[in-house]
Amino acid sequence: MSDVDEMEDAVGEVPVALAAPASAVVVVGPGVETEESVAVWHVSPQGMPVGAWIYSLESLLGSRDEARRLLTLVERRSITGVAPGELDEVLGRVTRAAGVDAEKWWTAQLFSPLQCFADIVDRRAAYDETVSAAKRELKNVADVGWSRDFAAERLISFDDLRSLSRVRPVVGSTAVGSGALTVVGVLRWLVRQWVETEGVKRRRYVREAYGDAEPLPPSWLASVQAGMTTRLPL
């Protein structure tokens, strides 16, 4: 790295803190004794698990109180999982079981790990272009040395992303809990990639072009902000 970029990198740490509720990972699958269940894992903006619950799907759909308890775990949070269609189905069924008249209240709160990865790739490409332009106009500008190059990656499924992230599938006491923890691991990896991406804003010319560092990929951050405004009649 050049002397100029070293000095600019010393401007300060990237502000990744976010004062917001944890995001919710929601996964449907076999629970205790293979009973169809719903797992909810809360994940901090730093990608760390901070709470976990597993409910029998039968008990959720058969008890208004149980259904409402689950909704309190997700109503004000960004929500993600493995398959968006699965999330729509289970949240719709639980919302109806809770007796809540709010059609698809969760739509703006959903985010996709795959889209988060696409956000990272797009943002890195933009920063690389800005650095290349700066090299043509300024002296002693260094290329960005990403720890991994994702530009050529074409991901189709969550498992593609999990494989790229080198997060191994978790093997735990229940399949549904293991699935949720695997998603948590991928989210933690995405946060690390995003922190590296936004770290380029320590360079003054990048920060001037794009503003201060952001705490999460745009699609994830938008879902967090949407969740903070949700109020269900529970």
pLDDT attached to residue 4: 44
DSSP-derived secondary structure letter, 11: T
Question: Is residue 222 a part of any domain in this protein?
Answer: no
Structural domain span for residue 48? 23-109
Q: Is the pLDDT of residue 164 over 50?
A: yes
- pLDDT tens digits, residue range 48-98? 999 999 999 999 999 999 999 999 999 999 999 998 889 999 999 999 999
Considering its fold, how many domains does the chain have in total? 2
| Residue 16: pLDDT band with limits 50, 70, 90 | low
Check whether residue 120 and residue 70 sit in a common domain: no
- pLDDT tens digits, residue range 92-143? 999 999 999 999 999 999 999 999 999 999 999 999 999 999 999 888 899 9
Check whether residue 80 and residue 124 sit in a common domain: no
pLDDT attached to residue 2: 43
Question: Is residue 46 a part of any domain in this protein?
Answer: yes
- d(Cα 175, Cα 36) in Å, to the nearest integer? 10
Q: Are strands 49-56 and 36-43 parallel, antiparallel or unpaired?
A: antiparallel
16: Cβ contacts below 8 Å, ≥ 6 apart: 45, 46, 191, 195, 198, 213, 215
- d(Cα 148, Cα 121) in Å, to the nearest integer? 11
Check whether residue 137 and residue 201 sit in a common domain: yes
pLDDT attached to residue 138: 86
DSSP-derived secondary structure letter, 110: B
pLDDT attached to residue 11: 39
Picking from 91, 109, 127, the residue at the C-terminal end of a domain is 109
- pTM for the structure as a whole: 0.92
- d(Cα 152, Cα 16) in Å, to the nearest integer? 27
CA angle 88–166–42, rounded 5-degree value: 40
pLDDT attached to residue 17: 67
Question: Is residue 146 a part of any domain in this protein?
Answer: yes
